[in-house]
């Protein structure tokens, strides 16, 4: 089966079906292939019952008359929120698009005006019509014909939904591979201007292949590496190597961004990352501790410049900056700046200059 970013299209249909509210999933095929076994395991992990049929005649025996069956055509990548809302609404319906754009996108034309958008919900009491059809009939097309004959209500999906890559037909592995970069762009967002650490993390994901996001321990490994780098940077500060410590802190930022990117891909496309964004404050804490350790003076003199820098960075996150000032929000840039000045001059001078730049940026930028 074609795969998008490490998950087969069927697996992504499974995730969509769960979002719609399905309690069980029925796959059409043998179920004994490696892909079929992986799909069964994926269904078990998300708490959905899984079964396989090899003939459309088996459907009426599985679906009760008061059930509703969501039908997804093979090869459909269903990740449009608009389509999700239409299918989650009360009442069964056929999802349609305009005939011209739909046919060009690979969807089945119904008539001169409309094409089937590859998804519908159909009441269980209509499935008895499958008994009068040949046993080897494809269930998706047969159910569409039954739904049309019974004049099931229709819901029209905007033609623009076919252009953004969130509701498309993936007919081959080649098409899937060409769509993977677009999928990553949709899930991670395209705006990385002024954020070198985020740019590096996304380049690493796309360069290493999207399978990185699906590796079992990739997320834990990225988080562990980032925490180890921050711990090592503070250890360098204790042993009076501030330049090395700031460099390690700067290096931890793209690794942390890699962890967050993998986490976002793990809950994509409908989930939200709520638990982990706070971890970015760990970098600010690391820079603060390093600053205090790097300044050899009385405690209040050692604490004040790093505190000004840390609070200035937190305030800067709430500001809308012009593009040329955006790198000041990136802790990798700040850490690298501090490492360079700590190596060629005094760490205290670097901390004060960085704090001054951050405060200046705060004064010329409005709040969000």
Percent of the chain exceeding pLDDT 70 equals 95
Task: Return the pLDDT at 285.
Answer: 94
pLDDT tens-digit series, residues 49-94: 999 998 888 999 899 999 999 999 999 999 999 999 999 988 899 9
Mean pLDDT of the region 325-342? 94
Q: Of 100-109, 266-275, 308-317, give the lowest mean pLDDT range.
A: 266-275
Task: Return the pLDDT at 14.
Answer: 93
Mean pLDDT of the region 207-215? 64
Q: Of 29-43, 176-190, 351-365, give the lowest mean pLDDT range.
A: 176-190
Judged against a pLDDT cut of 60, whether residue 209 lies above it is answered with no
The β-bridge partners of 93 are 121
- What is the average pLDDT value for the chain, to the nearest integer? 89
Q: Of 15-24, 200-209, 297-306, give the lowest mean pLDDT range.
A: 200-209
Task: Return the pLDDT at 214.
Answer: 66
Mean pLDDT of the region 312-325? 88
pLDDT band at residue 368 under the 50/70/90 scheme: low
Judged against a pLDDT cut of 80, whether residue 248 lies above it is answered with yes
What length is written for the chain? Answer: 368
């Amino acid at each position: 089966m074609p795969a998008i970013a490490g998950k087969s299209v069927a697996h992504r249909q499974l995730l969509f079906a769960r979002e719609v509210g399905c309690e069980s999933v029925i796959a059409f095929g043998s179920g004994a292939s490696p892909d079929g076994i992986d799909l069964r395991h994926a269904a078990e992990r998300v708490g959905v019952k899984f079964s396989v049929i090899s003939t459309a005649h088996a459907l009426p025996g599985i679906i009760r008359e008061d059930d509703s069956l969501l039908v997804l055509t093979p090869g459909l990548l269903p990740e449009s929120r608009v389509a999700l809302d239409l299918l989650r609404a009360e009442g069964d319906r056929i999802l349609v698009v305009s005939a011209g754009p739909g046919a060009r996108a690979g969807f089945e034309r119904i008539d001169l005006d409309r094409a089937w958008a590859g998804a519908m919900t159909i009441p269980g009491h209509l499935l008895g019509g499958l008994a009068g059809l040949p046993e080897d009939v494809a269930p998706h097309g047969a159910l569409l014909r039954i739904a049309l004959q019974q004049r099931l209500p229709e819901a029209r999906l905007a033609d623009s939904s076919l252009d953004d890559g969130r509701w498309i037909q993936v007919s081959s592995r080649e098409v899937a591979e060409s769509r993977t970069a677009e999928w990553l762009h949709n899930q991670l967002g395209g705006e990385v201007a002024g954020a070198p650490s985020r740019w590096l993390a996304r380049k690493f994901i796309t360069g290493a292949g999207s399978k990185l996001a699906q590796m079992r321990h990739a997320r834990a490994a990225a988080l562990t590496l980032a925490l180890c780098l921050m711990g090592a940077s503070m250890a360098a500060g204790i042993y009076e190597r501030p330049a090395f410590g700031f460099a390690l802190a700067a290096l931890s930022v793209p690794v942390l961004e890699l962890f967050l990117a993998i986490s976002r891909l793990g809950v994509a496309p409908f989930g939200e990352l709520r638990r982990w964004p706070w971890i970015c404050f760990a970098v600010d804490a690391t820079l603060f501790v390093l600053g205090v350790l790097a300044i050899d003076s009385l405690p209040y003199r050692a604490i004040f410049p790093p505190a000004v820098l840390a609070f200035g960075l937190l305030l800067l996150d709430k500001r809308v900056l012009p593009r040329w000032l955006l790198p000041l929000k990136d802790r990798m840039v700040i850490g690298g700046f501090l490492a360079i000045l700590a190596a060629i001059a005094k760490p205290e001078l670097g901390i004060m200059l960085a704090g001054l730049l951050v405060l200046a940026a705060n004064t010329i930028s409005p709040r969000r």
